[in-house]
Amino acid sequence: MMPANLQSKAFLLLLALVTIAFGAILWQFHGAVFWGVILAILFTPLHRRLLQRMPRRHTLAALCTLGICLIIVILPMTAITLSLIQEATAIYERMRSGQLNFGLYLQQVIAALPAWAAHLLDRLNLTSIADLQERFSSVAVQASQFVAGQALNIGQNTLQFLVSFGIMLYLLFFLLRDGPSLALRIGQAIPLEDSHKRQLVDKFTTVIRATVKGNIVVAASQGALGGLIFWILGIQGPVLWGVLMAFLSLLPAVGASLIWGPVAIYFFATGAMWQGVVLAAFGLFVIGLVDNVLRPILVGKDTKMPDYVVLISTLGGMALFGLTGFVIGPVIAALFIATWDLFASGQVSKPAE
């Protein structure tokens, strides 16, 4: 007869091995699984309201919630992505044909610089317009090639994208329909007291909802406003630049200005004063105000984390996990704070010395 202690260790080892193996199987579609879980958390309150109107019809309520999710989230994102691909490809073709020359724009800016700025560039060994033009053109071409390459990859990997998209929707449906029972089973397997589990789960869901909704609202607002002002000023590719500003807005404080700032400088340098004034004022007092006002309200208030923790965890999460890191980073930070609060308050017994 095998000793009980040895049986327990063998079972824990088996549990760890099969868990790792299952995680490895899911990893190929980790993006689809991740966003399926995120969307399920975000749309669970809506699903509960639908269940109140159609009790005991869990499948129909889940299908209705899934349809609403498709209409207000997935279809608009698909339309924006298609427009982005078209504009990025068009700009790349114009750059390759020479109709669009960012190096020439840079040369015009350098030529319009005041004496003190030219002297500063001379001290930094940056006065060679040809070198700067070549470097800037190289970076611009590489960036446009990257965007066009991503568009090409999407086209070439259509099957894989459709499979991942289908998995996400399939998983989202079952998480909406069977989410409460699944959460109950997972909670029963976690070896913590019920109060601690509730506290950590509440923190987890609150941070995900606040981070996703807050960052998406800020990004969509800044991207839409940036694309609108670019369209008004007649700048080519407003959808492309608006989407880039939306993505960069995930970097608090400086994100969208990395796009509209250089364009405003170009306007000033080339004598287009009113366009430069309008863009700079709009960027500072409208686009910037969205970040300074909405982000603390939508993200910091609900997560109850300091702004600097939200900023650092967002940047660190994106550096480690890519785009999904803007959710994962703050969630890890919030759980870190919550678990240490439990430990420091004495609610969780400390190990005996």
The pLDDT assigned to 323 comes to 72
CA dist 192 and 304 (Å) reads 23
DSSP type of residue 57: -
Q: Which residues of the chain have pLDDT under 70?
A: 1-4, 84-85, 87-88, 90-92, 94-159, 251-254, 296-304, 307, 346-353
User: What DSSP line would sit under 298-343, residue for residue?
Assistant: IIIHHHT--HHHHHHHHHHHHHHHGGGHHHHHHHHHHHHHHHHHHH
Please state at what angle helix 75-97 crosses helix 129-156, rounded to 10 degrees. Answer: 140
Provide the residue type at 137 as one letter.
Answer: S
The pLDDT assigned to 353 comes to 46
Tokens of residue 50, six digits: 């639908």
The pLDDT assigned to 274 comes to 86
Reported for 113-116, long-range contacts at CB under 8 A and 24+ positions apart, including other chains, are 113/269
DSSP type of residue 105: H
Question: How many Cβ atoms sit within 10 Å of the Cβ of residue 322?
Answer: 11
The secondary structure element, H or E, covering residue 3 is none
Q: Is the dihedral of CA 52, 37, 150, 100 positive or negative?
A: positive
Measured at the CA of 112, the angle between CA 110 and CA 113, to 5 degrees, comes to: 70
The pLDDT assigned to 142 comes to 60
Claim: this prediction has a pTM higher than 0.85: no
Taking the domains of the chain in order of start, what are their residue ranges? 194-346
CA dist 275 and 271 (Å) reads 9
